[in-house]
Amino acid sequence: MNENSNKPQTTVADYVVTRAKKALTEQKEFLLHGKINAYIKNAFTTDIDLGSVFKRVEGIIPLDFLSEVDIIYIGDFEELKERRVNALYDNGAIYISNEQSSEEDLLDDLVHEMAHALEDAHGEIIYSDGLVRREFLAKREKLYFLLKAEGYKFDDRLFMNPEFTNELDDIILNEVGYEKITSLTIGLFIDPYSITSLREYFASAFEFFFLRADKKYVQSICPVTYEKIIELINYIEV
């Protein structure tokens, strides 16, 4: 009896599928919306199908929303580690960490940074009347008093600065902690990261608006920002 007779036989179809998967894994360059170049500098540390994620992005974010995005880089970037972030938009480029726990996390990061690119293109629409800023700082002030009631003692001026500061970021991340901050801000902020600055407040709302089925949740948490997103959609799509 042939000792190999019980071994599963590899068919031509199996071979083709295996080669196709290998080719996708080794592919370094992609296109988003057929126009925006993406380059994988360092391979993902987990099993991520970038092409599949891009298809989902294309079904969610119209190309007209990405006028400021020239290229997307994926890799092991020291600046991301220094800033303690997984993604960054800067001067027409989106930088994404290759350390992603899932395709959902990668999708979140991409859409979040696309929101920052949109700020560059249409910041006047978003911020010029000061309404989003006012909504954000009112929430920050409420958070300050919530923390004070919990026994924390922080300089209130930190909470009235709409820009990102390492000091407040450290308070959220280390002194209070994400778990505590999350429990205190349910119904107040979209997520803990949206507390860190005005820009992150808008980007988090944008991300949830486009990625979560229940848009009314965004409207209930940050109604002014929700209306700004609707205004942007109507302006861009005209």
Query: Which stretches of 150-193 are DSSP H helices?
Result: 156-159, 166-170, 178-184
Q: What is residue 27's predicted lDDT score, i.e. its pLDDT?
A: 86
Amino acid at 180: K
Count the domains in the chain: 2
Average pLDDT value over all residues in the chain: 90
Q: What is the pTM of this model?
A: 0.86
Residues 72 and 157 in one domain: no
Q: What is residue 24's predicted lDDT score, i.e. its pLDDT?
A: 47
Calculate mean pLDDT across residues 60-67.
Answer: 94
Residues 159 and 69 in one domain: no
- Spatial neighbors of 127 by CB under 8 A, at least 6 apart, are 133, 198
- Domain housing 178: 129-237
Calculate mean pLDDT across residues 32-38.
Answer: 97
- Spatial neighbors of 232 by CB under 8 A, at least 6 apart, are 118, 122, 125, 126
